[in-house]
Structure 1
Amino acid sequence: MGEPFGPEGLPLELARERILEQLQPLGLVEQLPLAACLGRITAEPVLAGEAVPGFRASIMDGYAIPGSEQPLVGARWRLRGTSAAGAPFGAAVAAGEAVRILTGAVVPEGSGRVLPQELVGVEADQLELLKPCGASVWIRGPEEEAAAGQELVAAGQRLGVAELGRLASCGVCQLKVTQRPRLGLLISGDELLPPGRQRAPGQIWESNSALLTALLNRLGYAVADQRVVGDQPEPLRAALLQLAAGCDVVVSTGGVSAGDSDWIRPLVAELGAVNFWKLFLKPGRPFAWGQVAGVPFFGLPGNPVAAAVTALQLLWPALQRLEGAEPQLLLRLKVRLEAPLRRGVGRPELARAQLVVAADGGLLARVAGSQASSRIGSLQGADLLLEIPAELGALEAGTELWAQLLRLPLL
């Protein structure tokens, strides 16, 4: 049935390593419009079909003059016409001539320099340089953004805002991306009641489905199928098999410990395998990893905070691997405790904290309220997961710790 790793359970890093080494990308591909590709993984390299911008373009509003030599103050030219964005001048610039040019417009043949408009004077059709123009020619090359055939995005890269903008600028309108894994979510517990219903004594409103679905959505993954089932073996067995038949990953909450009503772990062992089921981590000790009918299975703890934390630490990297990406973990940084923190030694802890910038610019971690794994309020406003080593108990203000940054990047 998969025994715990020693008396304390499997260390987090080793648990993640064991999970990832058993997973391979799904290898499924779909083609989508560029606008639908934010956050997706490229299935193949994306190359520029042609040079971009593909022509010499003016960086400034000003005047295109012949050659590229730096003219002297007092030099004069005769104006011949205008080159605007999308409306080139259409002829070469000869000696002694100049063309009015706007930002982004094609630089005419024969011109190797643009004079910014604030440096010149214009009277009738005569242009005169009034101030030194400096060394810059204010022209961007035809391959400034990309050369024809240049790789814009590698295969297996997650597409962010900047990638989509660059691809659009290079004329790309659709992409081949990997398919995301389909998730089946099983919430177990006799005490669970849908929000909005009147509670009887001992009942609680079910929140794990809302919490995990929102967290997974924020990470870019959707729940394809969801069940809320009481602690009865036959309905749970049926739900596990149905989810495994229609999904690429099965995720459950609760039922993986060793209590009288914890049916999930023995059922998974019966229907597939439990590779390990105990973590050396707070919150998150009752966690199971295995397979149901050949489909990867993640048994998250029943307490909501523990479920969210273990989903970030272990489920999220696995989903990235299945999607075809190199798993990326949360960015880590060093912070100092704003105030003393008391805790019991024994297990490493991922404590929820706010990031505070001190007056001197230093980064502080503010831990407020109970850190109980059942209190979802500890996640509200959390910017960090503080990594507290197992051997540390009483921590003084100013103690330096590593922390995982929970805020996602914009670009």
Structure 2
Amino acid sequence: MSEPFGREGLHLEQARHAVLADIQPLHGQEWLPLLQALGRVTAEPLFAPEAVPGFRAAILDGYAVADADEPPLSSHWQLVGLSAPGAPYRGVLAQGQAVRILTGAPLPAGAQRVLAQELIQRHGDQSIALALPTGSKLWVRGAEEETAAAQELVAAAQRLGPAVLGRLASCGISQVPVRAVPRIALLITGDELVPAGQPRPNGAIWESNGTLLEALLLRLGYTVSQRRVVADDPVALRSTLEELSVSADVVVSTGGVSAGDSDWIRPLMAELGQVEFWKLFLKPGRPFAYGRLDAPDGRSLPFFGLPGNPVAAAVTALQLLWPALQRLEGAEPKLLPRLQLPLARELSRAPGRPELVRARLLVNSDGGLAALVDGSQASSRIASLQDADLLLELPPQADQLPAGRLLWAQLLRLPLF
């Protein structure tokens, strides 16, 4: 089979650009309660139905007074009532009067400021006096502090996190319109695979890519709707691909994508659809294919042929499949944040391809950060992913990298809010 992008394969950035240029967002949307919408992408913008909080409120416990200017020491006020959250004072505050007010409670009409209770000397239940200077701060939250009426709260095509959902709830919104989420079909290939928990014959391995990839996708917010494990048989693989394509929006395989005698995925991609490109100029992850799979109902589905080695499969899924899934949801793809870090210790490697090395993030005693590479980086060794904080980007020709060398690294962390 010809290699349309050359013998070495595509650079990662080129491959990502080619994939995203080929992906169009799915159609359809649904309305969901707020908690069910966590992690989903908005289908349309949402606006505040009214101002929030909608009233001026006390920022701290104290006394609301009508003084516009900073009152002098020994000023006195007559206590006329109480304003509490959910139980506001209904009267109009006049000069020389004060209302006991609790944090978050509405300011009475006529009130201009709140005097912190620590500054006040109280004379029974009848009056108060100012014992310490107030300063210029009013300690009043504005009626539109969170939002004005009709203000946009969240734009379309935005992923919903806890902060946005909490803000929507604070504005009285209980449901949101979200885009369709892609249905993912996962195919794991190999004659040597045995399910975990079953006896393992000589030469066989326990199947782990399915668990690794499905768990990774769950961590990223996506559910695998179908998962099949099939031997390296072209007839069985063709039948399975046709079956999976019926009720999927994207098909992902792992294994069988190289150029060996039992590697049938790429020829089947060409037979059942088309191969857009094959091979990456990357370590781990060189045997990777992207293309299209023609479904029986006439749809053309994105097809990702991931490598068979588990680390390579996980890394390429993170670099190429994840951005594509975001695009399918109608969101602008966001990649892992990058930062420059010094190497904690010297690193030797064989030059040739750019490499994404699994590393840990160290915090020195002085608060400085460094990247530590420890243990084998074999693409078959899942342990290299365990406890990894970083994907350290090694240049293709670098061989001896001294301690302290600055390198770009991708931070393996997702935002909390």
| TM norm structure 1 | 0.99
Is 1:155 aligned with 2:156?
yes
Residue 27 of structure 1 deviates from its aligned partner by 2.5
Q: Deviations over 1:235-276 (max 9, x none)?
A: 100111111111000000011111000011101100000111
1:310 is matched with 316
* Structure 1 runs (4+) greater than 2 angstroms displaced: 359-362
2:387 is matched with 381
Residue 359 of structure 1 deviates from its aligned partner by 2.4
Two-structure CA RMSD over aligned residues (Å): 0.9
- How do residues 76-87 of structure 1 correspond to structure 2 at under 5 angstroms? 76-87=76-87
- How do residues 275-314 of structure 1 correspond to structure 2 at under 5 angstroms? 275-293=276-294, 294-314=300-320
Is 1:330 aligned with 2:331?
no
Q: Percent identity?
A: 64
Listed as ranges, the gaps of 5+ residues in structure 1 are none
- CA distance, structure 1, for counterparts of residue 70 and residue 370 of structure 2: 53
Residue 182 of structure 1 deviates from its aligned partner by 0.4
- How do residues 11-30 of structure 1 correspond to structure 2 at under 5 angstroms? 11-30=11-30
- CA distance, structure 1, for counterparts of residue 308 and residue 123 of structure 2: 80
1:369 equivalent among 368, 375, 395: 375
Please say if residues 2 and 274 of structure 1, whose CA atoms lie closer than 8 Å, have aligned partners that are also in contact.
no
- CA distance, structure 1, for counterparts of residue 2 and residue 339 of structure 2: 35
Residue 361 of structure 1 deviates from its aligned partner by 2.4
1:321 equivalent among 322, 327, 336: 327
Task: Report the 3-state secondary structure (helix = DSSP H, G, I; strand = E; otherwise coil) of the residue aligned with 1:32.
Answer: strand
Q: Deviations over 1:111-165 (max 9, x none)?
A: 1111111101111201111111110111111100000000011111111121111
Greater shift after overlay, 356-365 or 229-238? Answer: 356-365
Q: State the AA in 1 paired with 2:256.
A: G
Is 1:360 aligned with 2:361?
no
Residue 325 of structure 1 deviates from its aligned partner by 0.4
1:32 is matched with 32
Residue 360 of structure 1 deviates from its aligned partner by 2.9
Is 1:226 aligned with 2:232?
no
- How do residues 161-172 of structure 1 correspond to structure 2 at under 5 angstroms? 161-172=162-173
- CA distance, structure 2, for counterparts of residue 66 and residue 275 of structure 1: 72
- CA distance, structure 2, for counterparts of residue 28 and residue 315 of structure 1: 21
Residue 80 of structure 1 deviates from its aligned partner by 0.6
1:75 is matched with 75
Task: Work out the number of aligned pairs and report it.
Answer: 411
Please say if residues 330 and 406 of structure 1, whose CA atoms lie closer than 8 Å, have aligned partners that are also in contact.
yes
Q: Deviations over 1:33-62 (max 9, x none)?
A: 001111111111110000000001011111
- CA distance, structure 2, for counterparts of residue 195 and residue 215 of structure 1: 18
2:354 is matched with 348
| TM norm structure 2 | 0.97
- CA distance, structure 2, for counterparts of residue 391 and residue 107 of structure 1: 67
- CA distance, structure 1, for counterparts of residue 285 and residue 4 of structure 2: 14
Residue 398 of structure 1 deviates from its aligned partner by 1.2
Task: Report the 3-state secondary structure (helix = DSSP H, G, I; strand = E; otherwise coil) of the residue aligned with 1:316.
Answer: helix
Listed as ranges, the gaps of 5+ residues in structure 2 are 295-299
Residue 338 of structure 1 deviates from its aligned partner by 1.0
Residue 84 of structure 1 deviates from its aligned partner by 0.4
Greater shift after overlay, 218-227 or 26-35? Answer: 26-35
1:101 is matched with 101
2:110 is matched with 110
- CA distance, structure 1, for counterparts of residue 197 and residue 374 of structure 2: 29
Task: Report the 3-state secondary structure (helix = DSSP H, G, I; strand = E; otherwise coil) of the residue aligned with 2:279.
Answer: strand
- CA distance, structure 2, for counterparts of residue 325 and residue 380 of structure 1: 29
Task: Report the 3-state secondary structure (helix = DSSP H, G, I; strand = E; otherwise coil) of the residue aligned with 2:288.
Answer: strand
- CA distance, structure 2, for counterparts of residue 351 and residue 95 of structure 1: 70
Please say if residues 37 and 159 of structure 1, whose CA atoms lie closer than 8 Å, have aligned partners that are also in contact.
yes
Q: Deviations over 1:364-408 (max 9, x none)?
A: 111111100000000000000000010101111111100000022
Q: State the AA in 1 paired with 2:353.
A: R
Q: State the AA in 2 paired with 1:75.
A: S
Residue 4 of structure 1 deviates from its aligned partner by 4.9
Distance 1:117 1:2, change over 3 A: farther
Greater shift after overlay, 337-346 or 294-303? Answer: 337-346
Task: Report the 3-state secondary structure (helix = DSSP H, G, I; strand = E; otherwise coil) of the residue aligned with 1:195.
Answer: coil
2:297 is matched with none
Task: Report the 3-state secondary structure (helix = DSSP H, G, I; strand = E; otherwise coil) of the residue aligned with 1:10.
Answer: coil
Task: Report the 3-state secondary structure (helix = DSSP H, G, I; strand = E; otherwise coil) of the residue aligned with 2:115.
Answer: strand
Please say if residues 59 and 104 of structure 1, whose CA atoms lie closer than 8 Å, have aligned partners that are also in contact.
yes
Is 1:119 aligned with 2:141?
no
Residue 2 of structure 1 deviates from its aligned partner by 5.5
- CA distance, structure 2, for counterparts of residue 12 and residue 184 of structure 1: 24
- CA distance, structure 2, for counterparts of residue 95 and residue 365 of structure 1: 64
Task: Report the 3-state secondary structure (helix = DSSP H, G, I; strand = E; otherwise coil) of the residue aligned with 1:214.
Answer: helix
- How do residues 139-154 of structure 1 correspond to structure 2 at under 5 angstroms? 139-154=140-155
- CA distance, structure 2, for counterparts of residue 246 and residue 277 of structure 1: 25
Please say if residues 23 and 318 of structure 1, whose CA atoms lie closer than 8 Å, have aligned partners that are also in contact.
yes
1:206 is matched with 207
Greater shift after overlay, 267-276 or 63-72? Answer: 63-72
- CA distance, structure 2, for counterparts of residue 196 and residue 204 of structure 1: 11
Task: Report the 3-state secondary structure (helix = DSSP H, G, I; strand = E; otherwise coil) of the residue aligned with 2:112.
Answer: strand
Please say if residues 31 and 175 of structure 1, whose CA atoms lie closer than 8 Å, have aligned partners that are also in contact.
yes
